[in-house]
Chains A and B, each alone.
Chain A
Amino acid sequence: MYQALLTRRYLTSKVMPLLAALAVMLCTAMVLIVWSVMGGFLVMLMESGRTLIGDVSISSPGTGFAYYDDLIKRLEADPAVDAATPMIEGYGLLQLPASSGPETVVIKGVDGPSFERVTSYASTLWWRPLDKPLPKDAKRQDPRLSPDRREEFARFFAEGSTLTARSRAGDPVGAMVLGVEVGGYNARQVEGWYSPVVFLPGDTATLSVLPLDRRGRVIPDQATKVLPIANHFRSGLYDIDANTVLVRLDVLQKLLKMEATAAIDPSTRAASVTSRDPATGRESFNQPAATRLAPARITHVLVRAKSGIDADTLRDRCKAVYREFQRAHAADFDPPPPEGGGVRILTWRDRNMTLIAAVEKEIYLVLFIFGIISLTAVFLVLAIFWAMVSEKTKDIGILRAIGAGRLGVAWLWLRYGLAIGVVGSALGGATALLIIANINPIHEWLGRNLHVTVWDPRVYYFNEIPSRFEPLKAAIVLAGGVLASVAGALVPAVKAARMDPIRALRFE
C-alpha cells in the first residue's frame, strides 16, 4: 500500500508531524496524569475512609443502645455479614507526656479481636518488627528494622492488637492505641518511615471523657483515667491519624458509665422515700424491693460484608436484622431506639458522602476543562496538517497523475493523522506512566530544590500524592488522542482529496 510507505517516509523526514505528535503527546499525558492522580485521590480517600469504620455502621451517637451482643449475634447469623463488632465513639481530652496541654481527640472504644475481623485493624498498627524496609527506605533507616528491638516491637504489636498492656505490677490492663500523628510525636520522613520525637508506646497518658446518661444528658462526674499507650496506628488518612485514639471497649464503657450496672426496677419502687418502723418508731430509707441489671451500652456496631456483597445490600440486610432485634427487645428494660429515630444505619460510602461526592464532581470538572484544552490538540493537528497538505500539493498531483484516486489520497492523510495520533498517544501514555510512577519523588525533588510543595498532607489528607494508573482510563485517553488527531486530519484530508490534479501539478 502506497499510503503506508508515504506515511512512514513523511513521518520520518519532516519536523511538522513530529510537532503534531508532540502536541498529542502532551495533551494525552496531561489528561492521563490529572485523571490518574485525581482518581487515585478518590480511591485512596474512599479506601482510607473505609479503614476502621467497616462496610456498614449501625449507630446511635451519644446515648447508644443496649443488648448489642444479641444484635451482633443476629447480624453474624445473616449470610451477608462476615463479622460485626461493637464500638463506642466519643470525644475526649488526651494529656500526653511532655506536652504542655491536652489534645482534643476522637475516642473510639473497640474490642481488639472482633474489631480486627471487621476492619483489618491490626494491619494499621505501626510499631511492629519489620524485615523488609519500605520501598523508598533504601538506607534502612526505619527503626522497626532494628534486629535488637524485634522483641520489643513484637510485644507492642501484640498489645496493640488486643489493646491490653501490662501494668507496672504486671497485671493486664486496658490500653490505648493512638493515631500516629496525634500530638506530633512521630516525625514522618520523606522515605515514609516515622522517627519518634518521644517514643510513646510503653508510656502512659491521661484520658478525660464526658459521660452521658441514657437520655443523653451530661453526668457531672469526673471521668479521667491514666492509661498505658500500647502502640500507634496509621490509617493513611491524615485527619484520622492526627485525631483518633483507640481504647479498649470495656475501659471506655466504664469511663463513660455505659457498662452494665445494677439499677432499681421502677415497678418495685416503694410509694414513699422513707418509712417508719412501727415497732421502734425509727425512720429509715426505703430500700428498693428489687434491682435488675441495666445492660451495657455502646454507640456503634460496625459490620463487614461477606466478599461479593456490596455495601448497599449489606445495609438493607442490616436494617432488616435491626428491625427484628428492636422488636425482640421492645419490652425490655432498656429498649433499643427504632431505626431512623435515634439509630442510623449507613454504609461507609454514605458516611463519607459529602467528601466523596465533592471529589467525584471535581474530577469531572477538571476532566472537562482538560478535555477542552485538548481540543487545542485537534486544532493544532488540523493547522499542521493543513500546512502540510498545502506543502505537499505537488505530491498529491503526482499521485493523482499516476492513478491514485480521491479516496486513496484522503486515506493517505487520514492514515497519516492516525500514525501521528498513535505515535503521540503512545509517547503520551509512556510519559504519563513514567510521571505517575514517580510522582512522589518528583514532588520531593521539587520541594528540595525549588522549595515548591504542592501537596501538603495537612490539606490533602494523605501524606503522599496518590495516583493510580488504570489501564482502562489509559485506553480511553489514548484512544481519545488518536481520535483527536484523526479528526484534526479529516479536514485537510478532504481538502487534499478535492484538489484538482492539474492545479496541484502546476503548484510551485
Chain B
Amino acid sequence: MPLITITGLKKTYRLGRVDVPVLRGVDLSIAPGEWVAVLGASGSGKSTLLHLMGGLDRPDRQRGSGGAGGEIVFEGRSLADRSPRDLDRFRAKSVGFVFQFYHLLPELTVLENVGIAGMVLHRRRGRFRAERVGDRARALLAAFGLEHRLAHRPAELSGGERQRVAIARALVNEPMALLADEPTGNLDRATGQRILDAVSAWRAKGGQTIVMVTHDPEVAARADRVVRLEDGRVVGG
C-alpha cells in the first residue's frame, strides 16, 4: 500500500475576480521509504503541492460536490476526513516540512528552533518527554555538524547552517515523510551536496519517505524517482 496517494488534486487561487488554476488534477502515488523528486518550472505549483500534501492548505472545494478538488490519502486515511485538531497533530507528527527559505524563528536559539517542534507535539510539559526532545535535537544537530552552534541565533548562521537547522527541526519528531521545498536552492553546490548527504544518511537509518521539490537535475538524480509538474499535472515518473 502506498504511503501517500494523490488523486485528481486541484488548487485554484483567486486573484480578484480571476481564478488562477495552479493544480489541475494531480495524480501521484508514493510508496513508503521512497525518495521522490518533484521538478518543475518556477510557478508551476510545486510548493503548493507540498503544502497540500502536508495538510497546511486545503484543495479546492466546489459547491455541492464533495471531492471536486481531489483527494490526498496518507496512510490510508484522507486528509479531508481529519478535523482541524487531527490535522495539526498530523503536521506535527507524521510529516516534517523544510521550506525554501528556512523559516526559522529568529528569537530562538538553534537548539530551541529544533526543540520547539517537539514541544508543539508534546504539548504537556512532561519532563521526561522534554528531555527526550532535547536529546534528540542535540543528536540531530550533532549529526548535521552543528553541535558547537546550539546557543546561536539563526541570524548568526550561514545559509547552509540555517537549512541544516530547518531539516533537523523537520526530523526531530521522527516523521514518516519529509516534505522538502528546494532545500538546496539557495546554497552553493558543495554545501547542497553535503546537506543531501546528511539527509541520505538519516534516511538510510530509518527508511523514511522523502518528497523533495527541486529545479536542479543533479539533486533530482539522488532520488529514486523523478516526477515533473507541468500545466498543473504530474508527468513522468
Residue B108 is within 8 A (CB to CB) of chain A in the complex? yes
A403 with B120, Cβ < 8 A, contacts A5-B108, A5-B112 known? yes
Q: Report the nearest B residue to A394, measured CB to CB.
A: B103
Q: Interface code B161-199, partner A: CB below 8 Å = 1, 0 otherwise?
A: 000000001000000000000000000000000000000
Among the 9-residue stretches A138-146, A159-167, A404-412, the one with 4 or more Cβ atoms under 8 Å from chain B is: A404-412
Taken together as a complex, chains A and B put the C-alpha atoms of A403 and B56 apart, in Å, by 9
Q: How many A-B residue pairs have CB under 8 A?
A: 74
What's the nearest-Cβ distance from chain B to residue A253, in Å? 80
Residue B147 is within 8 A (CB to CB) of chain A in the complex? no
Q: List 8 A-B contacts (CB under 8 A).
A: A400-B88, A401-B103, A402-B117, A402-B120, A403-B90, A403-B92, A405-B85, A408-B120
Residue A13 is within 8 A (CB to CB) of chain B in the complex? yes
Taken together as a complex, chains A and B put the C-alpha atoms of A14 and B106 apart, in Å, by 11
Kindly list chain B residues whose C-beta atoms are within 8 Å of the C-beta of A5.
Answer: 108, 112, 116, 119
Question: Using a CB–CB distance below 8 Å, which chain B residues touch chain A?
Answer: 51, 54, 56-57, 84-85, 88-93, 97, 99, 103-108, 112, 116-117, 119-121, 123-125, 169
A408 with B123, Cβ < 8 A, contacts A401-B56, A403-B117, A501-B56 known? yes
Kindly list chain B residues whose C-beta atoms are within 8 Å of the C-beta of A2.
Answer: 116, 119-120
Q: Is the CB of B107 within 8 A of A6?
A: yes
Interchain residue pairs A-B with the least CB separation, the first 6: A403-B92, A2-B119, A405-B88, A9-B107, A403-B91, A402-B117
Residue A197 is within 8 A (CB to CB) of chain B in the complex? no
Give the interface centre of A13, A398, A502 by most chain B CB atoms within 10 Å: A398
Q: Is the CB of B123 within 8 A of A402?
A: no
Kindly list chain A residues whose C-beta atoms are within 8 Å of the C-beta of B105.
Answer: 6, 395, 398-399
Kindly list chain A residues whose C-beta atoms are within 8 Å of the C-beta of B84.
Answer: 405-406
Question: Using a CB–CB distance below 8 Å, which chain A residues touch chain B?
Answer: 1-2, 5-6, 9-10, 13-14, 394-395, 397-406, 408, 501-502, 505
A403 with B107, Cβ < 8 A, contacts A5-B116, A502-B51, A502-B56 known? no
What's the nearest-Cβ distance from chain A to residue B45, in Å? 13
Q: Is the CB of B88 within 8 A of A404?
A: yes
Return the contact of B91 from the options A10, A401, A406 (Cβ within 8 A). A401
Return the contact of A505 from the options B92, B103, B169 (Cβ within 8 A). B103
Kindly list chain A residues whose C-beta atoms are within 8 Å of the C-beta of B119.
Answer: 1-2, 5
Return the contact of B123 from the options A1, A10, A399, A400 (Cβ within 8 A). A1
Q: Is the CB of B56 within 8 A of A400?
A: yes
Taken together as a complex, chains A and B put the C-alpha atoms of A400 and B89 apart, in Å, by 10
15 other A-B residue contacts (CB within 8 Å) besides A6-B108, A10-B107: A1-B119, A1-B125, A2-B119, A6-B105, A6-B107, A6-B116, A14-B107, A399-B105, A401-B91, A401-B97, A401-B103, A403-B120, A404-B120, A406-B84, A501-B56
Taken together as a complex, chains A and B put the C-alpha atoms of A501 and B105 apart, in Å, by 15
Taken together as a complex, chains A and B put the C-alpha atoms of A501 and B92 apart, in Å, by 14
Return the contact of B107 from the options A1, A13, A402 (Cβ within 8 A). A13
What's the nearest-Cβ distance from chain A to residue B116, in Å? 5
Q: Is the CB of A403 within 8 A of B108?
A: no
What's the nearest-Cβ distance from chain A to residue B47, in Å? 9
Kindly list chain B residues whose C-beta atoms are within 8 Å of the C-beta of A403.
Answer: 88-93, 117, 120-121
Q: Is the CB of B99 within 8 A of A505?
A: yes
What's the nearest-Cβ distance from chain B to residue A4, in Å? 8
Kindly list chain A residues whose C-beta atoms are within 8 Å of the C-beta of B108.
Answer: 5-6, 9
What's the nearest-Cβ distance from chain A to residue B152, in Å? 14
Give the interface centre of B88, B107, B169 by most chain A CB atoms within 10 Å: B107
Q: Is the CB of B116 within 8 A of A402?
A: yes
Taken together as a complex, chains A and B put the C-alpha atoms of A401 and B113 apart, in Å, by 13
Kindly list chain B residues whose C-beta atoms are within 8 Å of the C-beta of A13.
Answer: 107
Taken together as a complex, chains A and B put the C-alpha atoms of A399 and B116 apart, in Å, by 9
Kindly list chain B residues whose C-beta atoms are within 8 Å of the C-beta of A501.
Answer: 56-57
Kindly list chain A residues whose C-beta atoms are within 8 Å of the C-beta of B57.
Answer: 501-502
Taken together as a complex, chains A and B put the C-alpha atoms of A403 and B108 apart, in Å, by 17
Kindly list chain A residues whose C-beta atoms are within 8 Å of the C-beta of B51.
Answer: 502
Q: Report the nearest A residue to B106, measured CB to CB.
A: A395
What's the nearest-Cβ distance from chain B to residue A405, in Å? 4
